Amino acid sequence: MHLAEDLVGLHLRRFDSWLQSWGYQVVLAADGAEAWNILQNECPPELLILDWIMPGIDGVELCRRIREKQQMPYQYILLVTANDDRQDVIRGLDAGADDYLTKPFDKGELHARVKVGTRILGLQADLIRAREELRFQATHDMLTGIWNRAAMLDLLGREIDRASRSNESVGVLMLDLDHFKTINDTYGHLAGDAVLKEIAQRVRQVVRSYDFVGRYGGQEFLVVLPGCDRQQTWQSAERIRLAIAHAAVVVDGNQIPVTASIGGTIAPALSEPRILALADTALYQAKNSGRNRTSLA
């Protein structure tokens, strides 16, 4: 947890000592302008203790600026004031403060109010993690961890639009593991799942960081290669095919040989269904030609 402390005078060193003794990492600012500069950093403090009276930018104005920026994740603000007038308290809360502390105060009260802010930020972190987990589940295949079919179709559509605007091509590959039913029948479905997970990782390791790899369904995978022409698409397909076939997948001591047939096409200005149909046709050509090979439509 980081805290920014914008206090002046003798309280500054005392606050620094207290907060560090409670386990917080403290970032000090002598005035409002310095505090505002600190808050422009890539990873600004999450819990802020602002003095109402500061040179340049006072605590209330700083609150307003922070809330207008709508920083995410949310920053918790504790406003310190020497005035306990009700209207001033209302002004501070309206400006964006989450809590206030009236001078003079003791160490215990400060600690209690900082712990309130820490709890709120902890709840926020939990919500962010839950949101990201749901987002991941909505777009990724739970078995292999790669993109799922819906996400891949969305990514393909976006890449087609982008390529059309920039007059570029997109390589599209459809992979099907050869004789996968035999693997399930011989070694069991859990072994088949292990094979799918391993193959997904092998494919990801031999494509570029900005290529898209997803599970299209069952033992089929879809790969989208932005900016690739026919030759580059062929080369990528062969790298993938060889990565899959170069070594057996070991599951529970069993050496399971795996190969894949790959069909591909180039997407200049075609519709998404047409591109997928061409890749699928090329895939069947690869299978009909003996499997463990690449065919481009």
Structural domains in the chain, sorted by start: 2-138 (3.40.50.2300), 149-296 (3.30.70.270)
Give strand ranges (E) for 165-244.
Answer: 170-177, 212-217, 220-226
Specify the range with the lowest mean pLDDT, choosing from 28-32, 130-134, 164-168, 234-238: 28-32
State the number of CA atoms in the 13 A half-sphere of 21 facing the CB. Answer: 10
The per-residue pLDDT for 8 is: 47
Q: What is the DSSP string of 245-288?
A: HSSPEEETTEEE---EEEEEEEESS--HHHHHHHHHHHHHHHHH
Closest CA to 240 of 272, 216, 271, 264: 264
pTM: 0.70
Q: What is the pLDDT of residues 88-112, one digit of tens each?
A: 788 888 888 999 888 777 888 889 9
- Confidence at residue 15, expressed as pLDDT on a 0 to 100 scale: 78
pLDDT over 70, % of the chain: 95
The rounded distance, in Å, linking the Cα atoms of 221 and 230 is: 19
Taking only the tens place, the pLDDT of each residue in 269-287 is: 667 888 999 999 999 999 9
Q: Is 43 helix (H, G, I), strand (E, B) or coil?
A: coil
> Which residue type sits at 170?
V
At residue 176, the 3 state secondary structure works out as strand
Mean pLDDT score, 152-157? 94
Specify the amino acid at residue 169: S
Mean pLDDT of the chain: 89
- My answer on whether omega of the bond before 73 falls inside 30° of 0, hence cis, is yes
Please provide residue 266's backbone torsions phi and psi, each rounded to the nearest 5 degrees.
-110, 135
Give 178-228 pLDDT, tens digit per residue. 999 999 999 999 999 999 999 999 999 999 999 999 999 999 999 999 999
Place of tokens 């504790």: 78
* Predicted confidence (pLDDT) per residue in 51-95, tens digit: 887 877 888 888 899 898 887 888 999 988 877 677 878 888 888
